[in-house]
Each structure stands twice: as C-alpha cells, then as structure tokens.
Structure 1
C-alpha cells in the first residue's frame, strides 16, 4: 500500500459516522440469488437483467441542511466494491436505538430489514450469520419463516452491537445495488386536463414519422411510447418492504415541502415546460435505441428552478441509500421512442438486472433515426404544466389512467 493511500484512505459513511476501509470481502454476496421481478424499463439503462447475480464489479455540496426525516440509517457504497470495514469498532456513543436489559446484562438493538436480504445475511448453512457473530461477538436473531418482525442484535457490550449493526448495513447496501428496481420517481406528462393539445401533437408526430420514415431501418409502430405513459424520470429505487416504501413517501413529503417553499416564492408560480426538439442517447444517429423530446422550463425569471428542484430532491433520495445516483444532474427529457418497447408494448419487462448491467436473452434492436432527426428535429410538442410528482410502481400499471401504478402523489405547487 502506498503512503498516499495510508494518508488518504477510502472512507465509508453510515449515518453521521465515517469508517476507514480496509481490504476484506463481504460474506456470500457472490452466491446470492433473488426472486424474479417485473421491472419497469428505464430508458437510460443500456442493458437488462438476468436471474442470478453476477460476479465482478458493478460498472455503474450543498450548504442547505438535509430535509429528509431522520428515521433510517443509510450507507454509501465505497468505490472499491470488493472492500469493506474490517477490524474497525465504531465508537461507543450515546445511541437511543440500543437498549440495555439489566436483568440479562445485555445490550439489544432491533433492525427493520426487508426479508429479501435474509438470504445474504444468513448464507448457506448459516455460514454468513455465524461469521458475522464470530467477528463481532454478537448474537443475531432473525424472525422465523412464518413470522413478521425485526432482526435483533444482542451482546454484552454496546460496541459489539454497533459493530454488528454496521456490518449488516454494509452488506444490505451492497446487496441492494444488485436487486432489480421496484419503483421510480416520475412526473406524468399526459395525465392532466391541460395535456390535450400535447397528446394531439404527439399523435401527429407519431403518424408523420410512420408515414415518412417507415422505410428506414427499424422504424415501426412498436417503438413509440404509449401517450398516457409519457413522463419525466427522476430516478429509480429498490424498495423491498412496507417500511422502506413508507420511509421514502415520508422523505418525499418533507423534502418537496421544504424545497417548494424556497423555489416557488409566490402563489402564481408553476413548473410550465415546453417540449421542443429531439435528441438521442448514443452518439450515432444511425443506431439509436432511445429518442426523446427535450424539456425546457418556460420561466424568464429563473430558468433553472425545475432543474435545481429535481437535483436537490435526487440528492436527498440518494442519501437514504434506497436510490442509486447515476448522474450529478437530472437529464430533463421525455422518451418518445424506445427500442425496448418492441418486445413489450406496456413498457414493463419481466426480467432482472445483473451487477454489470448485462443482458442475457434480451437484446435490443436499434433503429436508424437520421431521417427522423432531419425532418422532425425541431418538432414542437407545445407547453404543459407539471402538476404532480409520483412514486410510481414499476410492475403495476394503472388500468384506469393508462399510467403506472402509484404509491403516492405530490402536488407541484407553491406551499403556503
């Protein structure tokens, strides 16, 4: 190890604590399987899903105070995926989440953990569980198969309980990165009464492209997104229990309330956007997988309000540990054509994502968009007011609205 790496070691932050990263390996992640899920196909994900986890690496400040509720610890994964905390004891500090049972002379902590993570924590023949208990000098008790409850950590010292809890949090964080997405944060485009004109413009665009560009390679009706599903994607999440869903819902409520108060200063302010112009995801217009409409905020005073709002919200959700950050800034766009839609016109795919983002038995067929861009590159879809922010469910479409199922909705209007 170089002197520089000793002076500036990698750090792992959990809650308000930071730990030095030492070489080690987490137990049993390579052999863990998950159940298959139906997954919303996010257009920015290049490849999709298989049944088993893959060995190998995942390729994948603001001065304002945090606005999320302080109810759940979060972990930030180190860039070194094959390293974790080892032989590091967290400081013994006041911690009201750890109780002392005087009669048993024992410290006890309860963790609300989604049952999807029990397998990786226990391991084959309970090997992972025994290793954790041995290395932390703590007892870890899981609910029985037919029970719903918390995971309990017990030890004679508070430091041992804290150490075991930290190790469990790290394992869960790494395992979560390899789970398929279950929810996504979205802003519907065509779910309000003011969207009639935009719907008509989109149908006009679709008809014109099919009439004038159908002779181009790969241009078919199946490429186009359903008009009722048009949306802005803010981020994707892995939520595996009711408590995780409720935590994100509460975080969204608190954060949006705080942010909207600072961004929308008067009752008349709204997020009104214009969809005009086309762009594509890759660098070759002859081999395109995703074609989208550019989004511009109609606001002469401060054209960055929407961007700032979404970036701040994204930052807070990433800090929960339940949403993975892909980019520093949200890319404002509305997907119009997607090659993944050839195989599933609902935009939902039953499959799973590998740790490397590779696809097995699910190959995309690109399309030639050169003529579409030449003829319709400046197409104006019109203006629309963004009314709601949805925590959308990836595998449950709403049959009444034609949009995606929803856990919660938040109005994007000034807060009095």
Structure 2
C-alpha cells in the first residue's frame, strides 16, 4: 500500500506524475481502463514547457500531433469499451485517432489549441509508460567487463573454485559465461523497432549530455574487477556471488556517478525504473547465480532452466578463499544497449546500440 503522503512518481518526457497504486495487476493481453483505475493525472510543478515534440497546425482553428505507440499498449489507451480514450477526449476536448488492428499507423491527436493536444498526449504517455514498467524487461544498458585478460582470469577462478571448494549446491552450471561478464546499469522493456530506435537515440543523447561531461577529464577510465561479495545476509545460503568494481586510476565514485546519471536520464524519459526504488545503482559483475543451475553451455542464462524454486548454494568457502581475487583491469571504452536472450557472434549480448567513449 502506498504512503499517500509520499506517492510513487512517474517521469514522462521530463514531467513528473503521481501514481495511485503501482501494485495493480495489469494483464498484457487484455484491455484495461488504466487511466481510470490507476493514474491520478496531475502534473508536478514545472517551470518550463520542455516537451521535445511539435504540435502542427491543420488550419486556423485546428492543431494535431502524431506519434508512435507500440501495438502492445493500444488496448490500454482505448480502455474497456473505449472508456479511457473517451474520457481523455472529453477532458482535453480533443479527438484521438488510434490505429485499428493490423494497421501500422501512428496515434494522432486533433484539438482546437496546442495546449489541449499536448495535454492529451501526456495522458496517453502516462498510460503507456505505466504499462511499460509492468512488462518483463527485453533490453538493458550494460558495460562489458569481458576483456581477454579478465575472461582468462575468470576461467582460472572458476576452475580453482570447483577444485578447491566442495560446498553445498556449488556446481559448474552456476557460473556465468566468461564472454557475458558485464555491469548492468538498468533494464527496460522495448516492444518494437520504433521503441528500440528511440532508446538508442536517448543513449546517444545521454553520451553527449551527461556521460562525457562526467568522464571527459578521466579517459581512458580503467576499471578493476577485484573482490567477491554476495547479495544477502547469510554467506552459507546465497543465490548470487558477484565481483566488485573499482576505479583503477581516478577518484572513487566516478563510475557510480556515471551509471546513476544514466538511470536518472532514462527514468525521466519514462523508459526505465529505479531498481528497488534505490537512488544509486548497485555496481557489480555477477559471477555465479543460482538461476543458472542445471543448464548446459548452450542454454540461455537469462531465464531459469526449469520452472521450479531456485536452490541456493553455500558460498562461504568461496568467499573465504577468494574474497580478494583480482580478475584484472579493463578500459571503459563503450556502453551498450543490449538485448536479453540474444547473443552476438562475440559471445556477448546482442547489441542494439553502442556508444564509444574513446
């Protein structure tokens, strides 16, 4: 239950909205009156109109805007028996054209003035972004940590652990593939090519607006993967062992500043939520994960191999013997928009967009 004095917030195109109850279950396949049941449409105070799109004139007393919405969200905009669309049209005094099943057209909004057209578009965006956050992630922003030297050290680490540690639940299938070693910055759901293109555009913008201004005086930034830690309170009952990352040649916290800024950027664009509501990304590289248990080298690491409760493992001996293991150093040369469940020819996740930092 939300604290009514501290409601959850949703950022859409640089504007902030209050969310009534984010725990409401939204079916992916059904039409819902999402606006009526879930959203309190209320702009938080904004000093400027910073919408990054134009409303064009049809004639002297009619204006319109057109924009892409994935077909997966059109039912949410329409609502049960069309009630959501009708309500938005009534409240904003607009006419909203939504493509029919099988059409590839964009959503178009007509109104008698610019303000009403923008108001309707914002309300549609609130609905789309709220629905997006409830879907499983399809993509994530990643920082590859798979240099040849680090991969070689990781294989050595894996072999040593398997030969020296005979702990409960510990087996080879728990280890991530060396070629997939990475830092996850944040995850998002991109349902079609238009959304993938837009997320790629945002990542390119983020490079110029926030990433390079932070890093420009520190490149090439060297990152060291060194030391082990775990995700819960009991080292004898863990699901994830991860490697910690530290800057090798600059002040501590620089990498944290970069990843936090990226998440904040995409959060305000409405494409990414903050994991567990945290203001700071937990910077780490997963090394062993119980969800990998039982899979072969050809299996996808993103999903459990079988539908059953995950079995933890005893990581205490590994932590004792390898707590300060040094996997080596890599230069931060690129940041990826990566696709889950898809692998490129180099063994890393298939890339949708890559920004180079050299």
Aligned-partner SS, 1:85: strand
Between the aligned partners of 1:181 and 1:239, the Cα distance in structure 2 is 8
Deviation at 1:16, TM superposition (A): 5.8
Aligned-partner SS, 1:408: strand
Between the aligned partners of 1:320 and 1:335, the Cα distance in structure 2 is 27
What are the superposed Cα offsets for residues 168-208 of structure 1, whole Å, 9 maximum, x if unpaired? 11111211110111111111122xxxx33322221121112
1:346 equivalent in structure 2:
300
Deviation at 1:376, TM superposition (A): 1.4
User: For the Cα contact (< 8 Å) 1:114–1:241, is it kept in 2?
Assistant: yes
Deviation at 1:102, TM superposition (A): 2.4
Aligned ranges 1:190-201 → 2 under 5 Å: 190=146, 195-201=147-153
Long gaps (5+) in structure 1: 35-51, 54-80, 352-359
Residue 323 of structure 1: which of 272, 276, 284 is its match?
272
Between the aligned partners of 1:260 and 1:313, the Cα distance in structure 2 is 11
Report the CA distance shift for 1:350/1:332 in structure 2 as closer, same or farther (over 3 A): closer
2:199 equivalent in structure 1:
248
2:157 equivalent in structure 1:
205
1:172 equivalent in structure 2:
128
| Greater RCO structure (CA 8 Å; 6+ sep) | 1
Residue 132 of structure 1: which of 85, 88, 93 is its match?
88
Between the aligned partners of 1:298 and 1:87, the Cα distance in structure 2 is 43
Aligned ranges 1:88-127 → 2 under 5 Å: 97-102=54-59, 105-127=61-83
Residue 292 of structure 1: which of 230, 235, 242 is its match?
242
1:274 equivalent in structure 2:
224
Moved more, 163-172 or 330-339: 163-172
User: For the Cα contact (< 8 Å) 1:32–1:119, is it kept in 2?
Assistant: no
Aligned-partner SS, 1:394: strand
1:48 equivalent in structure 2:
none
Aligned-partner SS, 1:286: coil
1:385 equivalent in structure 2:
331
2:217 equivalent in structure 1:
265
User: For the Cα contact (< 8 Å) 2:169–2:313, is it kept in 1?
Assistant: yes
Long gaps (5+) in structure 2: 32-36
Residue 288 of structure 2: which of 337, 345, 353 is its match?
337
Residue 223 of structure 1: which of 147, 152, 174 is its match?
174
User: For the Cα contact (< 8 Å) 1:293–1:336, is it kept in 2?
Assistant: yes
- Across the aligned residues of Structure 1 and Structure 2, the Cα RMSD in angstroms comes to 3.4
Aligned-partner SS, 1:390: strand
Moved more, 125-134 or 276-285: 125-134
1:182 equivalent in structure 2:
138
Between the aligned partners of 1:242 and 1:206, the Cα distance in structure 2 is 38
Aligned-partner SS, 1:349: coil
Deviation at 1:302, TM superposition (A): 2.4
Deviation at 1:350, TM superposition (A): 8.3
2:322 equivalent in structure 1:
376
